[in-house]
Amino acid sequence: MVFNTKPMMKILTVILAFISLECSAQLNTSTLPPLDKSPMDISYYPANYPILKIQGKITEPLGARLIYSRPQSNGRRAFGELRELGKLWRLGANEATEIEFFRDAKIANKIVKKGRYTLYAIPNTGQWTIILNRDVDTWGDFKYDETKDVLRTNVPVEKNEVNEVLTMVFEKSNLGANLLIYWDDVKVTLPIVF
């Protein structure tokens, strides 16, 4: 006796395809995180280094890369309302901000060895304390350990046009680069010598 298995195979194929689509739809909707309100961004020194690299227009070696999340003030005061003055801050949102030096640098007359560091700040009205710390891959400033600080330096606060979103960029300077930090009506400059 011979059985015709073609109709059964068609039904089985349709059932498996339906199960596969249903599982795929459930995976796509239940496991993906929602869009973050403070998107992550990267700044390079020299500015736009990856683009310059693919265009063959590199004129100096890679010095630093900054990875940070960009909180938004949404019409509120960034300092004194969203961020408490005089308190430690991860210098961004979500994960603690990280800076990587691809060669030795000097900040506030102190040598900073090539490597990755977490970047924190203590904002105040007239000056900020900028902190480099050895503890990387951490979220927020909840586990901050002062004994792992590599350096602390104070930098003056300048008034600036209002920026809704925290923005950090590098600019070329005579001795290396300045890390410029903008948020609300504040601008802070961290000089870096390469």
Whether 36 shows a pLDDT value over 70: the answer reads yes
Specify whether the backbone of 132 is left (phi greater than 0), alpha (psi in -120 to 50) or beta: beta
pTM equals 0.81
Confidence band (pLDDT; 50, 70, 90) for 17?
A: low
Q: What is the pLDDT of residues 140-168, one digit of tens each?
A: 999 999 999 999 999 999 999 999 999 99
Q: What is the pLDDT of residues 42-51, one digit of tens each?
A: 999 999 999 9
pLDDT-above-90 percentage for the chain: 77
Q: Where does 31-160 have alpha helices with state H? A: 49-55
pLDDT of 146: 97
The residue among 103 and 23 whose pLDDT is bigger is 103
pLDDT of 75: 86
Whether 59 shows a pLDDT value over 80: the answer reads yes
Confidence band (pLDDT; 50, 70, 90) for 25?
A: low
Distances (CA, A) of 10 to 1, 5, 17, 21, 158: 21, 9, 11, 17, 72
The residue among 58 and 21 whose pLDDT is bigger is 58
Q: Where are the domains of the chain?
A: 1-32, 40-193
Per the omega criterion (within 30 degrees of 0), is the bond before 46 cis?
A: yes
